[in-house]
Amino acid sequence: MADREPVIVTQGLSRSFGHLQAVKDVSLTIYRGEIFGVLGPNGAGKSTTIRMLCGILDPTGGSGRVVGYDVATEAERIKTRIGYMTQRFSLYEDLTVQENLRFYAGLYGVPRGGRRARVEQAINRAGLGDRRDQLAGTLSGGWKQRVAIASATLHEPPLLFLDEPTAGVDPVSRREFWDLIHRLADEGTTILVTTHYMDEAERCHRLAFIFGGTLMDVGTPAEIVARRRLRVVELEPDRRADAEEALRADPRVEEIAHYGAVLRVTVHADADPGAVVREVCGGRGVVPANLRESRVSVEDAFVAMVRQDERRAQAARAAGAHP
Amino acid sequence: MSGRALVIAWKELIQLRRDRLTLAMVAALPVMQLLLFGYAINTDVRHIPMVVYDQDASAESRDLARSLEATGFYDIVGNVQSYTEIERVVRAGRARTAIVIPTRYASDLRLGRPTKVQLIVDGSDPQTVASATDAASGLVAARASELALVRFHAQGPATGSNLLSLEPETWYNPELRTAVFVVPGLIGVILTMTMIMMTAMAIARERERGTLEQLVVSPIGRVELMLGKILPYVGIGYLQMTLVLLIGSFVFRTPLAGSPLLLYVLALLFIAANLALGLVFSTLAKTQQQAMQMSFFFLLPNILLSGFMFPFDAMPRFAQILAQGLPLTHFLRIVRGIALRGAGFSDLGNELVWLAGILIALVAIAAVRFQKKVA
């Protein structure tokens, strides 16, 4: 992201389906060479946003420019300059790997003369040589994903949309996939990716949190984590159930998560988490063994944000029920 | 421009080649329908069991009974000696017709006196009544004219020799006439069925599997996508048509009186209209199952109203107006005109205009409905 050249710019982008507002007032700027992650629960409006940016869904409000073109009026121009890959991988299961690649090369207008060479290059780069004649439907998740990303990048698009590209893919394949994503970004490709995997979120240059169609926060992973103002400690208490019950009852504790014998306790940064835990455990006669402070992860920040959102919604409902 | 349409068409063909079930349907449908409509209708009215009440017992009367059996419409299952016996046999269902040949049949014929042969038919199956009566009266009429000629020949001048060619052959094979009528019509019915269903399903399948979104997000043009999707099926349509024509010609000896080239050229309008309708259906159907249901739903009025099953002129006015909007109505007239009557281009102008009008309307609807957007 050296030159800060904007590739996606949206102003108040919105979309409703009937009464349902799927995306509300999203304003974003994404720069060339960025890996931009979009996080949010299922149904938060991530896919709807991507579809509007690709020009296959008309916004009902606001505006957006993608690779210099308007999403509402110049959609077809956008389509030649983007690559698009969904979690379903969108391969033709009854075509072979090579046929799929040739099809997409033709579809994206790779010139006839160079098509064969380009497909060959993609096959080699993705290590698909042994599987070129295998039907795509018989490939495992990781291999399907490789073919899908190879298809989506055959025409060397400057902008790549990846909608949950690693869903159902094994960890090694995921890691290789992200290495590839970083290579593409280094070469200047801009990448917008949605994911539910928090380790993947940490690998993005910048992140956006979307809840209920609203953009809640945008920034680098470190910025987003810092803004939540959280601190985290881990401990291995002797009586875990008692410890958890007591900690949950304390209003200063934001969240508790289990990792084997370890309890991970998130506390608002105004409090000293070590002191809180020692105090609460002491009150129950539980020994907080191996108590240590831990780095706050994107996952901690994400979950804390979802919980706050849930609490707000609950409060709003309660207020609505008893006016 | 058309490069991308060809890419889509190429992909469709590969998929079709691997889809054994659909391929089988493409070939089996015409064959099955042909055999069903071609044979089932015929065998029904043949081999009607018959008893003979021969009061004359002459060489001539036995010859008449044998001739009746030789038409293939009647199987003589026995001889009876009284009307009560006829009644018993027919009521028991062992015979459905009886022929009564009067005494002095032979002598009356020889003397040139009018004579009447009685045909008794079990009326409980109206379908049988018609065909049983037709065949027998055909035979008797033929026999009568034959005898008249013989008498004429014996008595008068030699004009009779070329009059012999008047032998009413056509009366003999109403069997062939049904097949001849049905087979060309079947081309239209089969094309309606497969063309609409295949296009509608081809797009619904992509929607179901999520690949349509991938196509919509690609730079392919709307028209290119539509063209690429229907192009392979034009070929399939011609393949089916050829298959029906060949089987019709070899198995049912259906004629093709007019120009095959004209038929193939005009069929393109009909095929295209059905494909456009398939595209329209595909924009309405979310799943392949819905696409299939819509196609079948549309097929029924086609079969009933187009004149395929029932004569167009016999339908009420309202049904006729409806039927004018169906591509099949006009194609049936074209295909029957060319195949049976040897109609030429100028004879079919009216149908051509109708078909072209329907095609343009359908393409317009398809183009409006078929957008490169998701819901």
CATH topology for the A228-321 domain: Alpha-Beta Plaits (3.30.70)
pLDDT cut 70: percent of chain A above it: 98
Contact between chains at B210 and A90 (C-beta distance less than 8 A): yes
Residue A36 one-letter amino acid = F
- Give the tens place of pLDDT for each residue, B319-339: 889 999 999 999 999 998 888
Contact between chains at A56 and B373 (C-beta distance less than 8 A): yes
CATH 3.30.70.100 domain range(s) in chain A: 228-321
Contact A208, A39 (CB under 8 A): yes
> Is the minimum CB–CB distance between A95 and chain B shorter than 8 Å?
yes
List of residues 6+ apart from B236 with CB closer than 8 A? B16, B26, B194, B195, B198
Contact between chains at A79 and B218 (C-beta distance less than 8 A): yes
Contact between chains at B18 and A86 (C-beta distance less than 8 A): no
Query: Which of B13, B218, B371 to mutate to probe the A interface, most A CBs <10 Å?
Result: B218
Query: Which of A15, A50, A54, A90 to mutate to probe the B interface, most B CBs <10 Å?
Result: A90
Higher pLDDT, A228 or B127: A228
Higher pLDDT, B262 or A1: B262
Strand blocks (E) in chain B: 48-54, 74-79, 97-101, 118-121
Q: All domains of chain B, ordered by start, with CATH?
A: 2-41+175-369 (no CATH), 46-172 (3.40.1710.10)
Tell me which of A180-184, A292-296, B46-50, B191-195 is least confident. B46-50
Q: Write out chain A residues lying below 8 Å of B19, CB-based.
A: 94
User: What would the two tokens of residue A163 be?
Assistant: 């909608």
Give the pLDDT score at B88.
84
Q: Average of pLDDT values for A36-43?
A: 91
Give the pLDDT score at B173.
31
The phi, psi pair for A86, rounded to 5°, reads -105, 170
- Nearest Cα to B262, choosing from B348, B351, B355? B348
Coil, strand or helix: which one is A191?
Answer: strand
Q: Average of pLDDT values for A67-81?
A: 93
Angle of CA points A211, A216, A221, to nearest 5°: 105
Give the pLDDT score at A189.
95
- Give the tens place of pLDDT for each residue, A118-167: 999 999 988 899 999 999 999 988 899 999 999 999 999 999 999 999 88
CATH 3.40.50.300 domain range(s) in chain A: 6-225
Q: Give dist(CA A286, CA A278) in Å, integer.
A: 9
Q: Give dist(CA B98, CA A219) in Å, integer.
A: 98
User: What would the two tokens of residue B22 be?
Assistant: 């659909």
> Is the minimum CB–CB distance between A90 and chain B shorter than 8 Å?
yes
Q: Give dist(CA B274, CA B301) in Å, integer.
A: 14
Query: Which of B7, B205, B217 to mutate to probe the A interface, most A CBs <10 Å?
Result: B217
Q: How confident is the model at residue B160 (pLDDT cuts 50, 70, 90)?
A: very low
Whats the size of chain B, residue-wise? Answer: 375
Inter-CA distances, B27 with B16, B194, B197, B289, Å:
13, 10, 15, 21
Across the interface, of B3, B14, B374, the residue whose CB is closest to A99 is B14
pLDDT cut 70: percent of chain B above it: 82
Contact between chains at A88 and B215 (C-beta distance less than 8 A): no
Superfamily of domain A6-225: P-loop containing nucleotide triphosphate hydrolases (3.40.50.300)
Q: Write out chain B residues lying below 8 Å of A92, CB-based.
A: 11, 15, 211
Higher pLDDT, B300 or B270: B270
User: What would the two tokens of residue B265 be?
Assistant: 């050229």
- Nearest Cα to A93, choosing from A44, A24, A144, A45? A144
In angstroms, what separates the C-alpha of A129 from chain B's closest C-alpha? 21
A214-219 vs A230-235, strand pairing mode: unpaired
Across the interface, of B18, B219, B372, the residue whose CB is closest to A108 is B219
Residue A265 bridge partners (DSSP): A233, A256
Strand blocks (E) in A105-150: none
Q: How confident is the model at residue B45 (pLDDT cuts 50, 70, 90)?
A: low
Q: In what order do the strands lie in the sheet with B97-101?
A: B74-79, B48-54, B97-101, B118-121
In what helix (H) or strand (E) does residue B162 lie, and over which residues does it extend? helix B160-163
Q: In what order do the strands lie in the sheet with A230-235?
A: A253-259, A262-268, A230-235, A292-294
Q: Write out chain A residues lying below 8 Å of B11, CB-based.
A: 92, 95, 99, 103
In angstroms, what separates the C-alpha of A92 from chain B's closest C-alpha? 7
Coil, strand or helix: which one is A253?
Answer: strand
> Is the minimum CB–CB distance between A114 and chain B shorter than 8 Å?
no
In angstroms, what separates the C-alpha of B225 from chain A's closest C-alpha? 10
Contact B258, B337 (CB under 8 A): yes
Q: Average of pLDDT values for B252-266?
A: 88
* pLDDT averaged over every residue in chain B: 81
- Give the tens place of pLDDT for each residue, B161-189: 322 222 222 222 334 456 677 788 889 99
* pLDDT averaged over every residue in chain A: 91
Greatest Cα pair distance in chain B: 91
Q: In what order do the strands lie in the sheet with A159-163?
A: A69-70, A61-66, A6-17, A20-31, A214-219, A206-211, A35-39, A190-194, A159-163, A82-86
Give the pLDDT score at B165.
23
| Residue A315 neighbours by CB distance under 10 Å | 10
pTM above 0.95, yes or no: no
Give the pLDDT score at B132.
67
Give the pLDDT score at A238.
87
DSSP label of A216: E
Task: Inform me whether the pLDDT recorded for A195 exceeds 60.
Answer: yes
- Is this complex's ipTM strictly greater than 0.90? no
Give the pLDDT score at A1.
44
Q: Write out chain B residues lying below 8 Å of A84, CB-based.
A: 214, 217
Tell me which of A86-100, B177-191, B209-223 is least confident. B177-191
Contact between chains at A88 and B210 (C-beta distance less than 8 A): yes
Contact A228, A304 (CB under 8 A): yes
List of residues 6+ apart from B315 with CB closer than 8 A? B305, B323
Query: Which of B2, B4, B6, B7 to mutate to probe the A interface, most A CBs <10 Å?
Result: B7
